[in-house]
Structure 1
Amino acid sequence: MSPTLPPAMDRPHFIGIGGAGMSGIAKILAQRGASVAGSDARDSETAQALRALGATVHIGHAAEHLAPDATCVVVSSAIRDDNPELAAARERGVPVVHRSDALAALMVGLRPIAVAGTHGKTTTTSMLAVSLSALGLDPSYAIGGDLDAPGSNAHHGTGEIFVAEADESDRSFQKYDPEVAIVLNVELDHHANYASMDEIHESFETFVGKIVPGGTLVVGEHSGARELAARVAGREGLTVVKVGEDADADLRIARITPQGMASEVTVCLGGREHTFTVSVPGRHYAHNAVAALAAGIALDVPAEDLAKALGTYTGVKRRLQLKGTAGGVQVIDSYAHHPTEMTADLEALREAAGDRRILVVFQPHLFSRTQELGREMGEALGLADASVVLDIYPAREDPIPGVTSALIIDAATAHGADVTGEHDKDAVPALVAGMAGPGDLVLTMGAGDVTDLGPRILARLES
């Protein structure tokens, strides 16, 4: 199957083309034959991977980067109004397209699976992409993280299935019309865009309302997801499939057996048990895999085949990714930045590590999130043996007076945790190398650039 290019997207210009969501759409368009161009604040392996596909990638933002023949400009919610390329597009009358509208256009004519939830979207989308590919179905996919190499976050396939990570942070997931939607969990986050849980539930209900007639909603056993299922129960033309360990689950998890840095998962379906391996530790990753299984079954993929294929998933970058070992110390990287994610990853590592010490380098992400959830972040760090907390990574936000990493450090200390604050990121490798000993496990954690510290810590441990 070879879908045609969406209207006006044969010569798109992406502002922030190196971002996880933007680069995936750019890659698919390039693979479909579009003349792709864009810009990013800095060069990266992702930018280089796009150039290898024929895309033009400028470094820095300037009005002259927008080509005279550009047919549209693609932006995300992170692009500010004063961006010179955005201003040039508006001055010249070039259509401005939000990233979510571009992704929605790429799904037209295919059978979309949209994966949503406050946590676990990237992992679950990746599991589906890998397992469906292993079965020879060649799905298209757009993921918020790289599978195994820069630029591997997206693919234009020849099959009829399109698997997409659906972002709730700015309500952009309401643009999609999936045949199958997964909602893993529903929690309060993205405080700059949502004022209450009621607003979040309303947003997720709108997303579910876009499922095509005859489609399927897969929900995890998280209380917020189950409340969503109750809210949409009885909606005509919608099948709701509950997954989890609860007795009322339609696809029930019978057993999760830890096996070091992996798990063996057994599910009950149609009176039969299916057992498969999940190559990352922790119950939440096992639940993600079962949600992926349910979504594939909803698109008529044989359950036994898909269960086996899920065993070929070997992880995605920044989701408990092993960066290396030096001096007897393992260094692992995690994207976790919400207290629920932090707790889940630390509990998974605690189970896998046994008696080994766990040392965390945590970088808070966003001032608004830290203001609302700093105390819970500090409590989560109590699961580590010791932690180093960096300054807040601002991303798209301006500082909020009085909101600093001290909110997290104070909360962690109040719960008896061993926490050290460090303002100088460059000082962390030496600091951590002095704390760690043979057999210890170091976890770099956060959604910002803390990931860059893993290789530097390893180098210091080797010196």
Structure 2
Amino acid sequence: MKKYYFVGIGGSGMNPLAQIMRQRGNWVGGSDRNYDRGTTAALFEKLRQQGIHLFSQDGSGITPDIDAIVVSTAIEPHNVELQQARTLVIPVIHRSDLLADMFNHAFGIAIGGTSGKTTVTGMVAAILDCAGKDPTVINGGIMKQYATESRIGNAKGGSSGIMIIETDESDGSITKFHPRISVITNIAKDHKEIAELQRLFQIFADHTTDTLILNNDCPVTRSIAGSRVITFGMSASSDITIEPLQISASGIRFAALGATFQLNIPGMHNVYNAAAAIAVAVTLDIPVFAIQQGVAEFRGIQRRLELVSMINGIQVVDDFAHNPDKIAASIKTLKSMGERLTVIYQPHGYGPTRFLLDELAACFSVSLRPSDTLFLLPIFDAGGTADRSISSLDLAQKIRGPQVTCAPERNSVLEQVAACAQTGDVIAVMGARDDTLSSFAQALADTLRARPTR
């Protein structure tokens, strides 16, 4: 047994890895700013229930008997716990190196791409479970099929040698993995420019030892080369061709592999995600009936077009979309669910907002109608030494088309939305990195429920 201490253990890339390390018999502890602040208490309670030790992020949890300090890219060099680790000469390793060491010794299936990789990871896991493969799964989002009273749902230990992971291109760590099977869902500007993303994904493809699976309908993804490639898409030249048969607000029936599949989550983008997962299953020679069962039983990912509540014909949705491609795909689906759309968007960081400012403005301008409303919350501040010289107002000034309001804080949005919402409306809370957005979406539903009947 080794002792691992995770600095920022609440992070979406950190806590699933911590859970797997604990399930493998190691001592695991960690700290997090949100734990100190008393936010997202349910997440930390589930970590504690799994035998993970939690400490204040003040250095008190760093002791000489710890074998390794695990950090992510979000942890800054001046962090007090890193200083304590250096004083005690404890090795510091990046989360991606720890994950790569586990993954590269397994039968690895790695899911990458700008958008959809969390959902594809969950879908592949559901299909492999139905086929009796019992994989280990490490994901950046909460897979509903694994969430319990004591399990967060973003990690599952398995009994087989198969490991499925979501990979991250934002910090370049995707190049550390050597998968047997890899998937690239799509490539679009996010975190980095297209040329740099192509370079990273080509290295990822070169490291793939068996099969590379590509979205044939994404021109940039098609530029990635591999020795053994399987493509998916709606175009006839795809190796696995998908054809939508029946689309509804609750799911989509589609054809592939000469069979019919029922997907019980909304959005055409999720048909592409399902096609990627089907391609993985085909590569593993999983029978079609097991693939059909896995796709049908997949319950979705938390905060991906998740219906929070329906109040008098008004739908409140919680959604993770934060880059232009994800936002456009979500809005397309949301518009099909009701008559009028209100989006409450929280930009997920100063750097990303500055980098994607023009693309975000164009996305909202094109995707939203004049009858739709967009509320922009203040940019999410994760702390640290970020350049805070940009604000949501800079984004608002570039948007044309929908009604746009910059809100100084969340309570004012609750009041304005509650005052105007009417039957047939869809109201979506949208943004990433901030787990309190889900609580805000629930508060919005509660506010609508409490208002006088009209």
Give the structure-2-normalised TM-score: 0.91
Residue in 2 that maps onto 1:313: 298
* Paired residue secondary structure (2:169): coil
**Aligned 8 A contact 2:104 2:177 in 1:** no
Shift in Å, 1:410: 1.8
Residue in 2 that maps onto 1:160: 161
Which residue identity does 1:11 align to in structure 2? K
**Aligned 8 A contact 2:351 2:387 in 1:** yes
Is 1:10 the counterpart of 2:10? The answer is no
Moved over 6 A (4+): none
**Aligned 8 A contact 1:260 1:281 in 2:** yes
* Paired residue secondary structure (2:336): helix
Runs (5+) with no aligned partner, structure 1: 1-8
Shift in Å, 1:398: 4.5
Is 1:114 the counterpart of 2:101? The answer is no
RMSD (Å) for aligned C-alpha atoms? 1.7
Which residue identity does 1:373 align to in structure 2? L
Is 1:326 the counterpart of 2:311? The answer is yes
Residue in 1 that maps onto 2:38: none
Residue in 2 that maps onto 1:357: 340
1:82 to 78, 83, 91: 78
Q: Which whole-Å deviations, capped at 9, do the CAs of 1:196-251 have from their partners, x for residues lacking one?
A: 32222111111112112xx11101121211122xxx25xxxx31111001111011
Is 1:147 the counterpart of 2:137? The answer is no
* Paired residue secondary structure (2:174): helix
Q: Which whole-Å deviations, capped at 9, do the CAs of 1:336-392 have from their partners, x for residues lacking one?
A: 111111010110122233xx2111101112222222322332333343411111111
Residue in 1 that maps onto 2:287: 302
**Aligned 8 A contact 1:263 1:281 in 2:** yes
Using the alignment, how far apart are the partners of 2:137 and 2:4 within structure 1?
Answer: 19
Shifted more, 246-255 versus 323-332: the winner is 323-332
Runs (5+) with no aligned partner, structure 2: 36-40
Residue in 1 that maps onto 2:131: 135
Shift in Å, 1:256: 4.7
Shift in Å, 1:305: 1.8
Using the alignment, how far apart are the partners of 2:13 and 2:58 within structure 1?
Answer: 21
Residue in 1 that maps onto 2:262: 277
**Aligned 8 A contact 1:445 1:451 in 2:** no
Which residue identity does 1:112 align to in structure 2? G
2:357 to 351, 370, 374: 374
Shift in Å, 1:274: 1.7
Shift in Å, 1:399: 4.9
Residue in 2 that maps onto 1:55: 52
**Aligned 8 A contact 1:256 1:264 in 2:** yes
Give the structure-1-normalised TM-score: 0.89
Is 1:338 the counterpart of 2:323? The answer is yes
* Paired residue secondary structure (1:206): helix
Which residue identity does 1:218 align to in structure 2? I
2:211 to 207, 212, 216: 216
1:386 to 373, 387, 402: 373
* Paired residue secondary structure (1:164): strand
Shifted more, 127-136 versus 18-27: the winner is 127-136
* Paired residue secondary structure (1:36): strand
2:31 to 39, 48, 56: 39
Distance change in 2, residues 1:343/1:398 (3 Å): farther
Which residue identity does 1:425 align to in structure 2? R
Which residue identity does 1:12 align to in structure 2? Y
* Paired residue secondary structure (2:133): coil
Q: Which whole-Å deviations, capped at 9, do the CAs of 1:28-76 have from their partners, x for residues lacking one?
A: 1111111111111123322211111111011x31122113311101100
**Aligned 8 A contact 1:181 1:208 in 2:** yes
Shift in Å, 1:402: 4.7
**Aligned 8 A contact 1:335 1:447 in 2:** yes
Residue in 2 that maps onto 1:452: 439
Shift in Å, 1:106: 2.1
